[in-house]
Amino acid sequence: MQDLRTMKKKYSMLAVAIPAIVAVILLSATVPQSPVATESIKSTPNQLSTDLIKQVDDVGGLVPLFSGAFAQVPLDQLDSMKAQGRKIVEVNLVAQAADLPIMGGGKYHALTFNGQVPGPTIRVTQGDIIKVTLTVPSTEATAHSVDLHASQISATNFGAVKPGQSETFAFIAETPGQFKYHCEGVNVASMDQHVFSGMYGLTIVDPLNGYTPFVTQKTDTVNGQVVVKHLRYEPDAKEFVLEFNQLYLTADGSFDETAMFLHNTTQTTINGFAFGYVPNADINKLIKGDPNKNIFVAQPWNSPDLKQYQSHPLFVDTGVHYRLFVENEGQMPVFFHIVGEQLDRVVQGNRIQAQGTETWLIGGSQGATVDVVFDNPGVYVAVNHDYAAIFTGAGAVFVAGDPFNLGYKPGDMPNPSDAVPPLGKNSIPQKEVLHCLCTDERAAELAKTIGA
Ligand SMILES: [Cu+2]
């Protein structure tokens, strides 16, 4: 068995060797069998043998060389790495087809991890080992797979797992930030169908030393002069996850690949729902005294008999640090904007990208961690500021403070459980109410975890 030092040495050798091979391939693409390029690699100490270079030439690509790429943890070394101080986080994903509701009534043929869309949010700390097991029950009609963007390991791990089988791999979460995970279909075939049918989720990797405080600017007047005032917020925050995606559906609720190729979105979703975080009949009654008097223009998931599917706004306190993990799980750009608010800070990979910005562009399979403080009581709507997306479902209502004078104290109102991530390094716990685009069986399991 290799010890960690040997592994590190091996991986650092590969890190040097792989760019060299890329160079050889690039050169040989223009100058076939270039003796100069081959010779220069051969003469470099600690690098690959000419046999291996010939092998690469023969297959015409890099695929066989990535099998031991950086940060992958061989399963037989998990125990020794744990003994050396690594935390191992086990993630069990089960592929499951299910019919789930869509806005406007009816159902669509969803493909899920663990009976829910999106799949469960994985949360670890930078440096933890994530050990993933994907199980595909024998009752499933197709093979599935899982690709975690939090990893930097060989894509061969993301190959198809057939019905009746399960696969496990492990890697070190080296980079802090937030990362999509998704099914890659059957060795990439039908990957689009599987992702747009629901097989995606988020991994949050908290920075090893925690999140950083942030400072916003206000103005004040002192002795008749306008001056800048700095407000500092601690790293501890209340948190939400907002995963944007699209549905492309035929009239009978099947995946419509033609619509996908044309980017002809049927509905735009946040955490699986179009307009899932808007007021509902109960809130109408509280505010208007009448469950049927809508306080928001579209309330498609209105009544209590919808159980886990009933919509629920995001209740927030004023003057409190909120951390939003916004992820674009789809293929349309997300212009993340909060109507009435500014994004106080945007962070990616634990590095600050912007402060005091109105909108942040998040491309497909990209995320942004957004820090925001709601200064005044009121109603604020988080949107994809693409008009086609807004009107097809990309709106989530934040209710800050008690703007309707209902008499509740900040923090009294529960928040939808699927928008609240598992607690991490600097999380402030929140009260939760069950909400998910998930099967009844999954809803029963999730209800236990939030004590509902
Ligand atoms: Cu799949």
Residue pair 452/433 in contact (Cβ under 8 Å)? The answer is: yes
Is residue 57 scored above 60 in pLDDT? no
Is residue 109 scored above 90 in pLDDT? yes
d(CA 118, CA 134): 16
Peptide bond into 118 cis (omega under 30): yes
Is residue 194 scored above 50 in pLDDT? yes
The pLDDT-based confidence of 21 (bands split at 50, 70, 90) is: very low
d(CA 391, CA 376): 26
- pLDDT above 90 covers what percent of the chain? 79
Structure tokens at 31: 């100058």
Angle, helices 35-42/50-59, rounded to nearest 10 degrees: 140
Q: E strand or H helix at 197, and its extent?
A: none
Q: How many CB atoms lie within 10 A of CB 125?
A: 18
Q: How far is CA 28 from CA 14, 42, 227, 231, in A?
A: 20, 15, 63, 58
- pLDDT above 70 covers what percent of the chain? 84
C-alpha 164 to ligand 1 mean position (Å): 14
C-alpha 357 to ligand 1 mean position (Å): 37
Is residue 52 scored above 80 in pLDDT? no
C-alpha 428 to ligand 1 mean position (Å): 34
C-alpha 145 to ligand 1 mean position (Å): 6
C-alpha 143 to ligand 1 mean position (Å): 7
Q: What is the mean pLDDT of the chain?
A: 87
C-alpha 307 to ligand 1 mean position (Å): 27
Residue pair 117/247 in contact (Cβ under 8 Å)? The answer is: no
The pLDDT-based confidence of 18 (bands split at 50, 70, 90) is: very low
C-alpha 132 to ligand 1 mean position (Å): 15
- Domain boundaries along the sequence of the chain: 4-66, 75-206, 232-449
**Architecture category of domain 75-206 in CATH:** Sandwich (2.60)
The per-residue pLDDT for range 261-295, each reduced to its tens digit, is: 999 999 999 999 999 999 999 999 999 999 999 98
Is residue 413 scored above 70 in pLDDT? yes
Q: Exposed, middle or buried, 85 (CB in 10 Å: 0-12/13-18/19+)? A: exposed
Residues near ligand 1 ion, CB 5 Å cutoff: 144, 183, 194, 199
Query: Which of 29-33, 136-140, 359-363, 402-406 has the lowest average pLDDT?
Result: 29-33
Per-residue pLDDT, 51:
59
Per-residue pLDDT, 192:
96
Q: Helix (H, G, I), strand (E, B), or coil: what is residue 89?
A: strand
Q: For 389-394, what is the mean pLDDT? A: 96
The pLDDT-based confidence of 252 (bands split at 50, 70, 90) is: very high
CATH label, 232-449, candidates 2.60.40.420, 3.20.190.10, 2.60.120.260, 2.60.40.4070: 2.60.40.420
C-alpha 126 to ligand 1 mean position (Å): 27
